[in-house]
Amino acid sequence: MNVPLFDMTRQYEAMREEILNTLDNIFKSGKVILGPNVKSLEEELAEYTNTKYAIGVANGSDALFLAVKALNIGKGDYVITTPYTFFATASCITRNGARPIFVDVEEKYYNMDLDKVEEILKNHPEKDRIKAIIPVHLFGKTLNLDKLHYLKEKYGIYIIEDGAQSIGSKWNNKNGFSVGDLSITSFFPTKNLGGYGDGGMVFTNNESLANRVRKLRIHGAAKKYYHDEVGFNSRLDEVQAAILRIKLKHLDEYIEKRINIAKNYDEFFKKYELTKVIDYPEVFEDKSHVYHQYVITLKTGNRDELRKFLTEKEIGTSIYYPKGLHQQKCFEYLGYKEGDFPITEKATKTTLALPIFPELTIEEQEFIVKSIKNFFNI
Ligand SMILES: Cc1ncc(COP(=O)(O)O)c(C=O)c1O
């Protein structure tokens, strides 16, 4: 049995006709840049996320970059974020000329530890120059939004929620993106709401920030060919927007399926007595985890050998992430060293992402878990 880590072809089969008809209409209309589908997707996603404004941009990395830019964060400023995330969460800070301060994650879901964030806000020697926090709802698990809100109010700092992996997720019935001055998501094909190419979106409840991002995405021009400032070319493609609108109708159903798949994995791990050797994320029914990734942690044994073993059995896996951002060559100048973020560093060696996508079958899941059991010889 061949089980890929992610497979978009199964979903395509189910919506092929609708997608092709929609694309045909777009190509016949000739409106392929910032057309009606981008505008409608922005409105629909603002409604879905319960935010006032949504602005489509070229990808999630640009969404982060433009969010930092819109807050005028730059040279001399500091921004707190996690070292256990995709690169773009930190590069959006340095690309704007500011400096990241990394804070280690917590053990269970690997989200940034907000108690440690508060320590930094209280005690860091440059604490007055800290302008923002960029928390990541990692793997689709929402951070504690109440605590985030408390930090924002108490310390008067901006929040940019990196929800690239977490669209549709909640915290105690509170929507993700409800605390961020700005929040972002990514439509990279593997994401829970994934396009057929790159795409991203910025969300905010603040009208002037929304206008600023909208302007920055078209070369700083609020009016065509009249440039108030130097901006960028970062637009969401009309074709991607049209496909995303078709998929958005199914997003809640996809999330339900992911939660069910996570639940099945948990049950199989118990049934095959693997809980002695691995930890797995606890399942939430309330969408506080939307399982963009299902990531296990090895309590014992060699993660890379397990991965090799599963690859030989034609089971796709991935490592998110093999290095902490503080260990990346390009961030050496920040002066961090090995041992600074022990939970992150341990996670880079012990975690493994298993296949998860809405169309994954229960037979495939059982095969994966049985293969893990074989590896451990239990
Ligand atoms: C946490 C996080 N932030 C930002 C991004 C960047 O998104 P994109 O790939 O659309 O640029 C990603 C996507 O991979 C991500 O996982």
- Provide the mean pLDDT of the chain: 97
Cβ atoms of 117 and 103 closer than 8 Å: yes
Q: Which class for 28: exposed (0-12), middle (13-18), buried (19 or more C-beta within 10 A)? A: exposed
Mean pLDDT to the nearest integer, 313-317: 98
Is the backbone peptide bond immediately before 321 cis, with ω within 30 degrees of 0?
yes
Q: Is the CB of 162 under 6 A from ligand 1?
A: yes
What pLDDT, on a 0 to 100 scale, did the predictor assign at position 348? Answer: 98
Report percent pLDDT > 70 for the chain.
100
Q: Taking the alpha carbons of 3, 305, 103, 65 in that order, is the dihedral positive or negative?
A: negative
What pLDDT, on a 0 to 100 scale, did the predictor assign at position 283? Answer: 81
What pLDDT, on a 0 to 100 scale, did the predictor assign at position 284? Answer: 79
Q: Taking the alpha carbons of 276, 278, 284, 288 in that order, is the dihedral positive or negative?
A: positive
- Find the range with the poorest average confidence among 18-22, 280-284, 340-344, 352-356: 280-284
What pLDDT, on a 0 to 100 scale, did the predictor assign at position 91? Answer: 98
Q: How far apart are CA 376 and CA 359, in angstroms?
A: 27
Q: Is the CB of 200 under 6 A from ligand 1?
A: yes
pLDDT at residue 316 is higher than 90: yes
What pLDDT, on a 0 to 100 scale, did the predictor assign at position 286? Answer: 86
pLDDT at residue 87 is higher than 90: yes
Mean pLDDT to the nearest integer, 370-374: 98
Residues 281-309: b if buried by 16+ CB within 10 A, e if exposed: bebbeebbbbbbbbbbbbeeeebeebbeb
What pLDDT, on a 0 to 100 scale, did the predictor assign at position 285? Answer: 77
Q: Is the CB of 166 under 6 A from ligand 1?
A: no
- Find the range with the poorest average confidence among 92-101, 159-168, 276-285, 304-313: 276-285
Amino acid at 73: I
What pLDDT, on a 0 to 100 scale, did the predictor assign at position 208? Answer: 98
> Going from the N-terminus, what domains does the chain have, and what CATH number goes with each?
9-104+111-248 (3.40.640.10), 251-376 (3.90.1150.10)
What pLDDT, on a 0 to 100 scale, did the predictor assign at position 282? Answer: 83
- Look at residues 303, 253, 255 and name the one whose alpha carbon lies nearest to residue 283: 255
pLDDT tens per residue, range 100-125? 999 999 998 999 999 999 999 999 99
DSSP strand pairing (174-175 vs 170-171): antiparallel
Q: How far apart are CA 297 and CA 300, in angstroms?
A: 9
Q: How far apart are CA 186 and CA 193, in angstroms?
A: 8
Q: Is the CB of 56 under 6 A from ligand 1?
A: no
Mean pLDDT to the nearest integer, 255-273: 97
Q: How far apart are CA 100 and CA 210, in angstroms?
A: 24
Among 91, 186, 240, the mutation site with the greatest number of ligand 1 atoms within 8 A of its Cβ is 186
